[in-house]
Amino acid sequence: MNSFVVDFDPVIFGIGPLEVRWYGLMYVVGFIIAGQLCKVLINKGFFKVTPDKVDSLIMTMIVCMFIGARFAYVFIYNWDYYGNHLDELLSVWKGGLSYHGALAGLLAGGLIFAKRNGISWGQTMDVVALSGAQGVFWGRIGNFLNGELYGRTTDSAIGMIFPGGGPYPRHASQLYEGILEGFVLWLILWFMFKRLRHYGVIAATYVIGYGFFRYVVEFFREADAQLGYYFGGTTTMGQILCMIMMIGGGVSLFIVKKKAEVIDWIPVSKIPQDSQKN
């Protein structure tokens, strides 16, 4: 049986020197949806800011996410190369972003936004998780269309051929990640949403859930060529970072259930003006 060949043109269309790429479009879709979900959370009394603050949150997250993603990729995943090519440190258009670094950037961005707007860090990160988890789905679709981050070789019927991965069928691990880490995890978080009593639970659950799903999918995903495998050829760098995520998320979940801010579900618009923090 012939395997499906993943050979999409990464450029949707071009106007002169300007190119619109699938990968960039997927990010835009994810951020637009995130912005709308933030407004839903404001209306439900979960996010204690006014709607005009949403754009500020999105922009803060974008900047911090990309800084963290690039920093981690350069210094954790590929320093052997970039240490000898310092002029390419900022060449993100050539590829090279790390999700785990992006998460660290989001945590920093959430702290910045929370301090500026007088709300808790846990509340901010819950909002980022509830609105932004779906963005992982779109990002992985972009990886798939680009034919990158493909999986290991397989003889199964679901194997696909990626031109950059040689002539043999491989797992479409980008789709596995998009479905599990993006769509399924996002549904789990929203299922939990109305059952919440404390801020921070959603964010901690997201970190644990992402770490778990990513750890599993790493068994199907091709390891980074420049890093290979650890612990006798059984574990990838991604799995090591996911174990750290799950431990950190578990500790955070324990802490927030003991000490976190209680949710009152009152929209900011219904709080007396002299009581509002924003």
Instruction: Determine the pLDDT at residue 265.
Output: 87
Q: Is the pLDDT of residue 273 over 70?
A: no
Please indicate whether residue 220 or residue 16 has the higher confidence score (pLDDT): 220
For the ranges 5-14, 69-78, 121-130, 265-274, the one whose mean pLDDT is highest? 121-130
Q: Per-residue pLDDT averaged across 191-202, rounded?
A: 92
* Residue indicated by tokens 């644990």: 208
Q: What is the pLDDT of residue 274?
A: 52
Helix (H) or strand (E) holding 187: helix 185-193
Q: How many CB atoms lie within 10 A of CB 90?
A: 10
Q: Are 130 and 193 in contact (CB under 8 A)?
A: yes
pLDDT for res 120? 94
Judged against a pLDDT cut of 90, whether residue 133 lies above it is answered with: yes
**HSE (side-chain half, CA atoms, 13 Å) at 44:** 15
pLDDT at 76: 84
pTM to 2 decimal places: 0.90
102 band by pLDDT with thresholds 50, 70 and 90: very high
Q: What is the pLDDT of residue 271?
A: 67
Beta strand 4-5 pairing with 11-15: unpaired
232 or 180, which is more confident? 180
226 pLDDT above the threshold of 80: no
* Pairwise pLDDT comparison (271 vs 226), residue with the higher score: 226
Residue 278 pLDDT exceeds 60: no
Predicted local distance difference test score (pLDDT) of residue 93: 66
What CA–CA distance (Å, rounded) separates 234 from 29? Answer: 36
Residue with tokens 């670094």: 101
